[in-house]
Structure 1
């Protein structure tokens, strides 16, 4: 029998947008509280097994859908004005405030997956995190990828996204196995940032006028997988270069070392990859 319980909640952002979230509450003494920041277009249910594992270990956890995705999509996806930027500036800060309200007087940690770690510098309250543990969070810069995968990535970013947005008013990323359908501006910004150095840095002084990328000195662990063709070492370093004061450690995992067939960009959070989760626990216990 599980020694935690889960609750579905609605979180109201600063602009009154409602975010769908799930809170996992341990029934034993609380060790800390964790915000799981999702990858682009990935619903919170994807992280359910991982969140349950952490709750079993005594951590309060919150998972959520960014606006325009899953349970946080209001109306038709083609009518959503969501952006990557507002996910970092509005959605994630509101979710952190909910986490602090639900689990007061404890330590708060970010576990970011891809975009969920990239966007932390846009959060006005990011300094409330005691630590950051990111998996597959990199700049995703196309020019650094190996040639074979770069062709696929260029097709998706520079052909499929503009064409799909033109034809359908949003990006049908699910057609290519890239998560949920994406609001138009989310996909446009994703395309722009992955075609540039430093990801979100491409928008500094344009649409991003205030941020904490130059201020965060939070202890952070940046984990990637050797078989991930997106979050390669060069792109992790490129993303880290945007955080000018971050206290960062890096770790590259090889599937074979854990008797796994694959880790890639997504499978760290799979129940089948539970052998990898000790890295998360060891990190949390340090901070």
Structure 2
């Protein structure tokens, strides 16, 4: 799931981990090594220096990457968005996903926040949707949505689910 990566949108203990990642690890190690050595320190994968520094800026900004984009570009999107997020995704908590989806006020949003247990799975996580063993159960659902002859004409852009803004979570 995509999200606004602002560190305060995470709950503890992940909030402190995101703070450390965005304020210390990404910028510090990237400048020291010339790239972010994610594999070396057990954080998944390496990143080019520029990407790591950009991610660090997004983590530190309350609006993530949207703090660096002209507002009119994404607010004009008038299309349907099907979004999935997962209760066990430590990299995209529900609050941060909601903040991302709120950036598209003209889009029709169908968002499913899923507990893996509801699908008979132990875990899905951040990248699991793209793996047959974990996310395969949702692929048919997504393909059916994509192949639908037509989507409903009315889009509920004033959905209470997406009614809050990032300022509600600044505390």
* TM-score class, shorter: 0.7 to 0.9
Conserved 8 A contact 2:31-2:49: no
Q: Find 2:8's aligned residue among 143, 156, 177.
A: 143
Which has more strand, going by share of residues? 1
Q: Find 2:105's aligned residue among 221, 244, 247.
A: 244
Larger RCO, structures 1/2 (Cα 8 Å, 6+ apart): 2
Q: Find 2:56's aligned residue among 181, 191, 195.
A: 191
| Matched residue SS, 2:110 | strand
User: 2:155 is matched with which residue?
Assistant: none
Report Cα offsets for 1:210-261 as digits up to 9, x if no partner: 8630211110111100111232221112112222322211101111111211
- Aligned: 1:231 with 2:92: yes
Conserved 8 A contact 1:192-1:202: no
The TM-score, its normalising length taken from structure 1, stands at 0.48
Offset at residue 179 of structure 1 (A): 4.2
Cα distance in 2 for residues equivalent to 1:183 and 1:219: 33
User: 1:169 is matched with which residue?
Assistant: 34
User: 2:143 is matched with which residue?
Assistant: 281
Report Cα offsets for 1:181-202 as digits up to 9, x if no partner: 2111211111111222232221
User: 1:180 is matched with which residue?
Assistant: 45
The TM-score, its normalising length taken from structure 2, stands at 0.77
Cα distance in 1 for residues equivalent to 2:85 and 2:114: 6
| Structure 1 residues 175 and 234: CA distance shift in structure 2, 3 A | same
Q: How many residues align?
A: 148
Cα-Cα RMSD: 1.9
Gapped runs of 5+ residues in structure 1? 1-135
Conserved 8 A contact 2:27-2:56: no
| Matched residue SS, 1:202 | helix
